[in-house]
Each structure stands twice: as C-alpha cells, then as structure tokens.
Homo-oligomer: A and B are copies of this chain.
C-alpha cells in the first residue's frame, strides 16, 4: 500500500521549506517595515461568505463540505471576504486606517496548472478606511518594496497601473452603455490570453456597434496618461480620474519607486468588485503571467454586511513568487536552519559529558547537535562540516582533565581552548559566527 500526495498540493521537504520560509520572512518583514500588522482567520468559512461576494458560480471553484450540523462550509479560496468579515465585526473600535497583512493558505478546487495549484499561500496587503490616492500608492509601494528586497530591478519586473474609474468614464464618454461595463472588464482582462479573433468576437457580442468598438480599441491603446488627457475633450468625471491616476504615479515617484511603475490602460482586472485604481505586476522575463495584483474595492465591506468603508489591497502567491525568483536566479539562499555548533567526543567515555554540554548549549540558545553513533574524531568532524556548522566543540580526555574544551572554527580551521564553564556561560561570544557557506 503506497500513499501519495493529492494532485496540486505540495510536500515541503526541509530544503523546500527553507525556500518557503525565506519567502514568508520577506513578506512578513516588508509588511512590518511598511507599517502593516499581521492577522489571520479560519481556513474554513461559511460558504455563503463567498457566494455573497462572487455569486453562485464560485462554488464549483471551491472545496466545500457540509458539517455534522448540516452547515455548508468552504475552504477559503482567498482572504478578502474574511478580512471584510473581521473588519466589519469590529469596525467601530478598530483605529483607522487599518493596515493589515496576512499569509493565508488558500484552496482552489480547479485543475492544477503551472503557477496555479490547489493549495497555495497568498500574501495579502490591505489598507482599509483611507480614501486617498496616497493609500493606493502605498499599497503599490509595498509590492515593489518586496521586489527590491529580493533584488529584482526595474529591468526585471514592471508594475502596471490603471484605474477602473478612468476606464469606465472613458468608455461612457465614448458611448458605451453602463450596463456593458462589467462584462467588458471580464473580456478585456483576458485579452492577452485569447486569440485575437476570439477576443474580437467576444467584444462584438457585448458592443454590437462597430464604431463604438473601434473608438474603444483606439483609446484603450493610448500608451501614456498624457496621451489620454489630450486625446479628446473628456467629461469632468473622466478628467478627475486622470488626475487621480497622476497623483498615484507622483506619490510613487516620491516613494522612490517610479522606475518600476508605468501607466497601462490594458490592466482592468477581471473581478467585478474593483472601484478605482487597479494594478498588476509582471515579469519582464519569460514568465508571462501577473505576479501580483490588486486595486481599490470601496463597496465590498458594505456588500459583506458592514458600513461603506474604502479599501485597497493586493495579493500575490508563493507559487508565482517562486517562479519569478527562480527565473532570475534570485531564489533565497538555503541555510536558515543551519546549526551553530557540533559537539564531538574524542573517545566514547566522554559521551555522557558531551550530552550535558549539548543540553546546556541548547538551553542558552545555541543550535547544537552531535553524532548519535560513536565515530572516530575525523568522521564526526566531517558530519559537522556536512551539517554546515560554524564551529566544532571538541572534547578530549586531556582537555577534560583541565576543564577546557577545544573550539574549532570550521571556516578557517583555527582551534583554540576555552574553559568549559566560560563557554557554557557565554556561548555566543565564544563561538565563531556563521557557517561555511
């Protein structure tokens, strides 16, 4: 009887776990240095939390089940509904703006494919309660700050920024009916993933009037915000939307990450609930998919039972992040689980003393290990090197009689004697730093 992992889920052996932990550490520290605090919710939520947000179609993309009390539950496919539920539950007392992040494990019941698994981790960044382009800009800044953390340059990644409100008002000005906007967003969002003919056919179904379609295609192809501004005489609401996007871009320059950011009318995001700025980051390498995306969603908390409260945020997944870093040879280095010291006995009669010393070192915070088998000194030293330790602590008959131990720096090979009690009292200052890389 052989057991396997389910398809679309991953086993994280220790080397995989080191990469995952390094990505989580980056997510966590970049969030904290930008003034966000961490929260989490349950993995299982009532199913109607998701259908209330996304409609009944979402059910087939969810892992869902009925509990013993007959209630329909689902494994969270994303974090935003939980965020909305938690904020709404304490909306009167939470100080605003709420700057929260989390790293939930999420689930999708779909067929696994490259970059999309059935179990994955997401990084979520949200600012709730601040209706200001500065909040949009800061959210985008955090995503770019992560790229900088990993050493990704503006030659490797690009943050494309647009506004749903701008697109909406442009299209209204060009004669598109307001009821056509939501299906248009869904089709525009898929443009790069569809053959040209299929895209044109889908458009024609939503916008039967060819002159409107042509005007739309022409104007949505404008490359810069200045081009949009001067393309024609827009209504005041359209002009306001242009000014708002410009503010976001200006703040991003101020934050020092303007080089990573570009205006792009092609980014509309597929989901219905975005109300303002939307953005997506892309690799400039071979990886063609979006590595992070988000936007402003000022209606969602109300839809999910709360008051009207503005919000902006984004999500990214560990799967695409790992693909992105891998593409540019920037996967975080191993070694986060490395030992500090390996304790070695020259002779089996010293083993009981070895165990006492290991126990005392560990209590003092030293990552210490030893060989379970009584091996010759040379083999134990080899095990210490293999484990990546910075130091070996050698116990010999002769040094025991003088109450000293020998500390060998495994990077330089240098040895020196240290009184045993001094090592145990202050291990950190008596051991070499770091391991042989």
Contacts and interface: CB of A to CB of B under 8 A. Distances in A.
A200 to B, nearest CB: 32
Contacts of A89: 4, 11
A37 B65 contact: no
Q: Which of A52, A256, A305 has the most CB of B within 10 A?
A: A256
Given A14-B39, A65-B64, A254-B352, A5 B367 contact: no
Contacts of A4: 46, 85, 89
A14 B100 contact: yes
A356 interface: yes
Interface in A28-60: 29, 32-35, 37-46, 48-49, 52, 60
Q: Which of A40, A90, A141 has the most CB of B within 10 A?
A: A40
Interface stretch (A127-135, A150-158, A184-192, A291-299): A127-135
Nearest to A98: B14
Given A17-B37, A65-B63, A49 B3 contact: yes
Given A90-B13, A365-B33, A46 B6 contact: yes
A224 interface: no
Interface in A55-101: 60, 63-65, 67-68, 71, 73, 75, 81, 85-86, 88-90, 97, 100
Given A256-B359, A363-B145, A14 B42 contact: no
A226 interface: no
A227 to B, nearest CB: 26
Contacts of A220: none
A304 to B, nearest CB: 6
A87 to B, nearest CB: 10
A32 B305 contact: no
B35 A368 contact: yes
B355 A6 contact: no
Interface string A225-265: 00000000000000000000000000100111100000000
Contacts of A180: none
Nearest to A17: B38
Interface size class of A (residues with CB under 8 A): 35 or more
A34 B90 CA distance: 41
A14 B17 CA distance: 25
B12 A40 contact: yes
A394 B4 CA distance: 59
A369 interface: yes
Given A255-B359, A355-B251, A362-B33, A41 B305 contact: no
B337 A6 contact: no
Interface string A335-372: 00101000000000000100110111011011111001
A119 B42 contact: yes
Q: Which of A13, A39, A41, A89 has the most CB of B within 10 A?
A: A13
A318 B45 CA distance: 20
A42 B11 contact: yes
A359 B38 contact: no
20 contacts: A1-B305, A2-B88, A6-B42, A6-B73, A9-B43, A10-B42, A14-B37, A17-B38, A17-B39, A20-B40, A29-B365, A32-B337, A33-B368, A34-B369, A60-B68, A63-B65, A132-B372, A254-B359, A255-B356, A256-B363
Interface of A: 1-6, 9-14, 17-18, 20-21, 29, 32-35, 37-46, 48-49, 52, 60, 63-65, 67-68, 71, 73, 75, 81, 85-86, 88-90, 97, 100, 105, 107, 109, 118-119, 130, 132, 134-135, 141, 145, 148, 251, 254-257, 304-305, 337, 339, 352, 355-356, 358-360, 362-363, 365-369, 372
Given A64-B65, A105-B105, 19 more contacts: A1-B304, A4-B85, A6-B44, A9-B43, A9-B44, A11-B41, A14-B100, A20-B40, A29-B365, A32-B367, A37-B337, A42-B119, A43-B105, A65-B65, A67-B109, A75-B75, A130-B372, A134-B355, A141-B359
